Structure 1
Amino acid sequence: MRNVSPWREPVPPGGTMGEPRARGRFGEYGGRYAPESLVEACREVDEAFREAWAEPGFRGSLARLLAVHAGRPTPLTPALRLSEALGVRLYLKREDLTHTGSHKINNVLGQALLAVRMGRRRLIAETGAGQHGVATATAAALLGLEATVFMGERDIERQALNVFRMRMLGAEVVPVTAGSRTLKDATSEAMRHWVGATGDSHYCIGSVVGPDPYPWMVREFQRVIGEEARGQCAAELRTGVPDYVVACVGGGSNAAGTFAGFADTPARLVGVEAEGGAGAARGRLGVMHGCRSLFLQDGDGQITQAHSIAAGLDYPGVGPEHAHLRDLGRARYVTVTDDEAVGAAVRLARTEGIVPALESAHALAWVIRAAGGGDLPAGSTVLMTLSGRGDKDVSTLKELL
């Protein structure tokens, strides 16, 4: 198996994925490495989130929006034909069926409600694949807020459908021309913009990255994935808990939300990264975008460019809690290639009638490879989060197939 983090035995369940230690620390990772001009803004977000998350009224408002606007709960779909071919029992947690087509809406609705509570009138966001940008534009339109979305010029070209959706929803899409012109640079530009707009704007980070409290807050807003799946597995599976829980990882929000529902169980947690963006599998300790975590770096400690056919995985690092889970041995992080991901997307389409996002196809590619190579024992039950639908990737796939 190429480029993987160790998986120590026995895998220790429990004691993880709770509230971080002081100053947003997950072990040696996390923290609030923000410019002085943003420290106060992060503190205000932290206080507002803690206060809101403790109130049943806030949680009730979010749960209602997730139900009547986002379409939760999402189903757990058995992949019957593919399961038979692979010799495992594969279940898909269908985040692709949410409104806007991905898990991103879960976090954005939570942060948008928080922004309203804080008296902010505008959402700032970064996006790679465009799904977080679409979710941000959607929530802003729903709640009467303005939205400004920063997106790398390269991603604007390959995700034209989502750019149109954002603009149709009323968001301003700002092209980022610096560096690799992808997600890393869009995040950097969004944070720079926030410095001058903290008074009236909330930075709606899309993944479990950034300065405290964002990694924890985003995971809590995404926890609904894992909690729903845990209940659905209890009803569906004889054992009540799957043997393996698998999700794709860029920054890692859909994986963190999924893992949170199973961290206290014996299920093995597997995060699947793009081979060209494997922060957890191959990264080294560093600081970027406000947190201490694992990042791809050169010999001089400079952050190197990531590459993935999936724009949402084109990020040179991983969220700090994932780095901590890796060090604990509680989760294993593996990589797959672009070609494997494309092949998995085609196979799911032709066996189950589902066209997945290329990000999600990375998770499926590992399941296919592991089942064929013996890393998934025959008869294993596997829960995989299908984080998004593949409409946005049709142009990319059309060029390749």
Structure 2
Amino acid sequence: MTTENTASSHTTQNHNTKNVTDSYGLHQSILPSNDGLYGEFGGKIAHPQLAQAMSEIEAGFRNIIKDDDFITEMQRLRETYVGRPSPIFHARRLSAHCGGAQIYFKREDLNHTGAHKINHCLGEVLLAKKLGKTKVIAETGAGQHGVALATAAALMGVECEIHMGVVDIKKEHPNVSRMRILGANIVPVSHGAGTLKEAVDSAFETYLNELDTSMFAIGSALGPAPYPEIVSYFQSVIGREARVQFLDATGKLPDKVVACVGGGSNAIGLFSGFLGDNSVEKIGVEPAGEGLETANHAATMTLGVKGEIHGFKCYVLLDKDGEPASVHSIASGLDYPGVGPQHSLLKDNNLATYESATDAECLEAFMALSRLEGIIPALETAHAIAYAMRAAKDMSPDETILVNLSGRGDKDIDFVLDKVDLSK
């Protein structure tokens, strides 16, 4: 029988390298307390009705991950529906272009639906069905989570409702079309900035009125307990695969593992495979937008403070009134003023480092990967690529960087065409 835990132990035993996990299958540094806390971050929501609903979801999650039928079904869907394991690719031309370190990619963009989001969406919809719910409700920014959830809901015969800011609906219309074709109901959110934060607010308000029949299926490793744990559990497949694959391909671990960070799901998925390896530097890359010296960025870990948003504690960007700030990123999936509590703890414990990339650097990386390797990345992912290109130049040719290529850029093509000169 294949399980989450046996995959983790297989990694350690076959390669005799230190990557200690507890029996649950996640590294001990990103497991919560019974109060849903990661150090001082995270926590359980105080709202009585929502708290009861969260307790039901948590209990259901703890039950299904020990259920042989669920484990077998997840493994079957990963292999035959998602297309896992996703491969590791050595970007030789991009590496030569940058000079210095060799750059590799974990190809999550090759998953069904084109991003890492399908990893946790399948688990969330299976959990909703196990709890007897007939509907899933979610937020989305870039639309990758929305598409993945709509896909899983169509596969399993569950109603799906996606809340999305009007700014993002216009910007990411290919993904909006995909969600509608898949049968999802799209709820436009126009108040405030009309982006991801407001979509989260709207989705939670709807969920509060439909607790008996629906389940909130959050799109990243954030929010109140148990969502950070649930999402990181399902996304940890990235890190487990990557660690084995990279060792098999190169005979050693990467010097750096890199992923973009908005809420933090793809990054925590990759990092989880290497948290026991002190020799591997874990780098999260967030949006510097129009520059860290401006107000137009979403660099939560770089410039944020400890605070609270959407019922959990984390690093957060606040406005002059002490409320979560309006933020900016060229990538719709990264423009959130908070970050997952696990990342907040990793930062404070110096287990991961958080850098940033500007909109301009992101577009440059987007075009470089497209022209040099024939891979069109998501704008979110292009932030991580931008950092890798920058860092590689200061490293030696025998050093390596593994980037999580978290999504493909089909959704961003029209937007990018308005921003770049293709003749250059």
Determine if the TM-score, normalized by the shorter chain, exceeds 0.5: yes
* Number of the residue aligned with 1:9: none
* Number of the residue aligned with 1:84: 96
Q: Number of paired residues?
A: 387
Whether the 8 Å contact between 2:88 and 2:104 is mirrored in structure 1 is yes
Whether the 8 Å contact between 1:209 and 1:289 is mirrored in structure 2 is no
* Number of the residue aligned with 1:45: 57
Alpha-carbon distance between aligned partners in 1 of 2:414 and 2:40, rounded to the nearest angstrom: 41
Could you say what secondary structure the match of 1:23 adopts? coil
Alignment-mate amino acid for residue 201 of structure 2 = S
- 1:357-368 alignment, distance < 5 Å: 357-368=378-389
Offset from partner CA, 1:299-326 (integer Å, 9 cap, x none): 4321111100000001111100000000
Tell me by how many angstroms 1:170 deviates: 0.5
Gaps of 5+ in 1: 1-11
Alignment-mate amino acid for residue 176 of structure 1 = V
* Number of the residue aligned with 2:339: 318
Tell me by how many angstroms 1:18 deviates: 4.2
- 2:392 is matched with which residue: 341, 357, 371? 371
* Number of the residue aligned with 1:256: 268
Alignment-mate amino acid for residue 326 of structure 1 = K
Alpha-carbon distance between aligned partners in 1 of 2:268 and 2:203, rounded to the nearest angstrom: 23
Tell me by how many angstroms 1:379 deviates: 2.8
Alpha-carbon distance between aligned partners in 2 of 1:378 and 1:325, rounded to the nearest angstrom: 29
Alpha-carbon distance between aligned partners in 1 of 2:103 and 2:392, rounded to the nearest angstrom: 11
TM-score with structure 1 setting the length? 0.94
Alpha-carbon distance between aligned partners in 1 of 2:179 and 2:338, rounded to the nearest angstrom: 26
Could you say what secondary structure the match of 2:177 adopts? helix
Alpha-carbon distance between aligned partners in 1 of 2:237 and 2:340, rounded to the nearest angstrom: 18
Say yes or no: does 1:21 pair with 2:33: yes
CA RMSD of aligned residues (A): 1.3
Whether the 8 Å contact between 2:30 and 2:342 is mirrored in structure 1 is no
Tell me by how many angstroms 1:84 deviates: 2.0
* Number of the residue aligned with 2:84: 72
Whether the 8 Å contact between 2:19 and 2:273 is mirrored in structure 1 is no
Alpha-carbon distance between aligned partners in 2 of 1:198 and 1:33, rounded to the nearest angstrom: 15
Say yes or no: does 1:184 pair with 2:203: no
Offset from partner CA, 1:124-148 (integer Å, 9 cap, x none): 0100000100011101100000000
Tell me by how many angstroms 1:378 deviates: 4.3
Alpha-carbon distance between aligned partners in 2 of 1:215 and 1:71, rounded to the nearest angstrom: 24
Could you say what secondary structure the match of 1:77 adopts? strand
Could you say what secondary structure the match of 1:69 adopts? helix
* Number of the residue aligned with 1:234: 247
Say yes or no: does 1:348 pair with 2:361: no
Could you say what secondary structure the match of 2:35 adopts? helix
Could you say what secondary structure the match of 2:402 adopts? strand
Alpha-carbon distance between aligned partners in 1 of 2:75 and 2:304, rounded to the nearest angstrom: 36
Offset from partner CA, 1:352-398 (integer Å, 9 cap, x none): 110000000000001111223x2x44432111000000000001111
Say yes or no: does 1:213 pair with 2:226: yes
Say yes or no: does 1:386 pair with 2:375: no
Alpha-carbon distance between aligned partners in 2 of 1:264 and 1:237, rounded to the nearest angstrom: 19
Alpha-carbon distance between aligned partners in 2 of 1:379 and 1:129, rounded to the nearest angstrom: 36
- 1:129 is matched with which residue: 142, 152, 157? 142
Could you say what secondary structure the match of 2:197 adopts? helix
Alpha-carbon distance between aligned partners in 2 of 1:13 and 1:270, rounded to the nearest angstrom: 18
* Number of the residue aligned with 1:297: 318
- 1:91-130 alignment, distance < 5 Å: 91-130=104-143
Alignment-mate amino acid for residue 342 of structure 2 = E
Alignment-mate amino acid for residue 108 of structure 1 = C
Alignment-mate amino acid for residue 73 of structure 1 = P
* Number of the residue aligned with 1:54: 66
Gaps of 5+ in 2: 1-17, 21-26, 289-296
* Number of the residue aligned with 2:7: none
Could you say what secondary structure the match of 2:307 adopts? strand
* Number of the residue aligned with 2:12: none
Tell me by how many angstroms 1:94 deviates: 0.4
Alpha-carbon distance between aligned partners in 2 of 1:26 and 1:262, rounded to the nearest angstrom: 18
Alpha-carbon distance between aligned partners in 1 of 2:200 and 2:173, rounded to the nearest angstrom: 19
TM-score with structure 2 setting the length? 0.89
* Number of the residue aligned with 2:357: 336
Q: What is the aligned-residue identity percentage?
A: 47
- 1:277 is matched with which residue: 298, 303, 313? 298
- 1:286 is matched with which residue: 299, 303, 307? 307
Alpha-carbon distance between aligned partners in 2 of 1:282 and 1:28, rounded to the nearest angstrom: 18
Alignment-mate amino acid for residue 67 of structure 1 = E
* Number of the residue aligned with 1:4: none
Alpha-carbon distance between aligned partners in 2 of 1:279 and 1:33, rounded to the nearest angstrom: 21
Could you say what secondary structure the match of 2:147 adopts? helix
Say yes or no: does 1:142 pair with 2:163: no
Alpha-carbon distance between aligned partners in 2 of 1:288 and 1:139, rounded to the nearest angstrom: 28
Offset from partner CA, 1:173-223 (integer Å, 9 cap, x none): 000011110001101111111111110101100101111000011000101
Alpha-carbon distance between aligned partners in 1 of 2:349 and 2:28, rounded to the nearest angstrom: 9
